[in-house]
A = this chain, B = another copy of it.
Amino acid sequence: MPADFALALHGGAGTILESALTPAKEAEYHASLARPLRAGHRVLADGGSALDAVTAAVCALEDEPLFNAGRGSVFTSTGKQEMDASIMDGSDRRVGAVAGIFGPRNPILVARAVMERTPYVTMIGTGAEALARSAGLPFEGPEYFFTEQRWKAMQETLAQQARGAEDRDEQRRHGTVGAVARDRRGNLAAATSTGGMSAKLSGRVGDSPVIGAGTFAENGSCAISCTGHGEVFIRWVAAHEISARMRHLGECLVDACEHVVMKDLKPNDGSGGLVAVDADGTIAMPFNSAGMYRGRIGPDGVALTAIHRETLRAS
């Protein structure tokens, strides 16, 4: 029998090194995952839609400064912050996406405004910011989005680049947040938001706002939100490929996710992972990186979270 409702989310596949994880820091991360899980749960428990639940969960993730989206986004090589986000309703394939924006407090709400207030699906830069203003969405200044941690990370990456070294630190390469949900009516939805790649060139856009790559939802198969080396997720059209394997090969969610994460992405420098839910409410959270901030919640309201390879724990 289908589950009542289900929600899963991630705070990025670029996790802190296990060796650097103090008990206090660990508790902070689990709490930062549990709050967005509960925000999504409230929507679903009240009979709300999967679309509203992933919107609430991703807004909450964007508000958490520990994750690379909204507040706490990383900095480009020129010290700017540029945010991307997308959302998809699995019941009718409506989508909204934004790229290269700065100012709106919650980029995922701008993506949703594109979906609901325009005939378009993608808007970028100042055009998207103007839409956010006309939609009355809240804006914040640079001091709101700034975190010391991200500023230092950008400077460290630039210093490494100046020495001719590539920054392989997954925590800096892979920050993204996202959520997927199945609501009581069986509708699916997915949402993804990111501050991008630390010390990137201004204008670089990864897979988060690309429907089919970082985000996809279709009631008959699955809802997917990805995190990782975005360029590779785009080249493999990762989220849509999982749906295609389910629809055309008859694979189950877990097998389709496993194939794409381990056989398509991993051998092609596509480190990262994803959260996924299918029509029955089954959840998968595979990753091929050292860790992935992740969590799930169901009708019992218990937030289950994990960071590395350990078993999910109640938070």
Which residues of B are found within 8 Å of A130, using beta-carbon distances?
202-203
**A123 on the interface (CB 8 Å rule)?**
yes
Would you give the 0/1 interface string for A106-129, flagging 1 where the beta carbon is closer than 8 Å to chain B? Answer: 000000000000111111111110
**A35 on the interface (CB 8 Å rule)?**
no
**A152 on the interface (CB 8 Å rule)?**
no
Q: Which of A53-88 contact B (CB under 8 A)?
A: none
**A216 on the interface (CB 8 Å rule)?**
yes
* Copy total for this chain: 2
Number of interface residues, chain A, beta carbon within 8 A: 43
Q: Are A127 and B204 also in contact (CB < 8 A) when A231-B121, A237-B240, A248-B245 are?
A: yes
**A200 on the interface (CB 8 Å rule)?**
yes
For chain A, what secondary structure do more than half of its interface residues adopt (helix, strand, loop), or is it mixed? mixed
**A162 on the interface (CB 8 Å rule)?**
no
Q: Which of B131, B203, B237 contacts A216 (CB 8 A)?
A: B237
Which residues of B are found within 8 Å of A202, using beta-carbon distances?
126-127, 130
A118, A127, A201, A203 pick with most chain B CB within 10 angstroms: A203
Which residues of B are found within 8 Å of A228, using beta-carbon distances?
none
- In the complex, A205→B99 CA distance in Å? 10
Cβ distance A130 to chain B, nearest Cβ, rounded Å: 7
**A249 on the interface (CB 8 Å rule)?**
yes
Cβ distance A208 to chain B, nearest Cβ, rounded Å: 11
**A266 on the interface (CB 8 Å rule)?**
no
Which residues of B are found within 8 Å of A128, using beta-carbon distances?
203
Which residues of B are found within 8 Å of A309, using beta-carbon distances?
none
Would you give the 0/1 interface string for A121-157, flagging 1 where the beta carbon is closer than 8 Å to chain B? Answer: 1111111101100000000000000000000000000
- In the complex, A190→B245 CA distance in Å? 23
A126, A200, A205, A240 pick with most chain B CB within 10 angstroms: A205
Write the chain B residue with the least CB distance to A93.
B235
Would you give the 0/1 interface string for A230-252, flagging 1 where the beta carbon is closer than 8 Å to chain B? Answer: 11001111001100110011000
What are 21 contact pairs spanning A and B, CB under 8 A?
Answer: A93-B235, A94-B235, A95-B235, A99-B99, A99-B205, A100-B125, A119-B231, A120-B200, A120-B201, A121-B230, A124-B124, A126-B203, A127-B203, A130-B202, A211-B237, A212-B237, A216-B237, A237-B237, A240-B241, A240-B244, A244-B248
The residues of A with any CB-CB pair to B shorter than 8 Å are 93-95, 99-100, 118-128, 130-131, 200-206, 210-213, 216, 230-231, 234-237, 240-241, 244-245, 248-249, 268
Since A93-B235, A93-B236, A94-B235 are in contact, a sample of 14 more A-B pairs with Cβ atoms closer than 8 Å, ordered by chain A residue number, is A99-B205, A100-B124, A119-B231, A122-B206, A122-B234, A124-B205, A126-B203, A130-B203, A131-B203, A210-B211, A211-B235, A212-B213, A244-B244, A248-B249
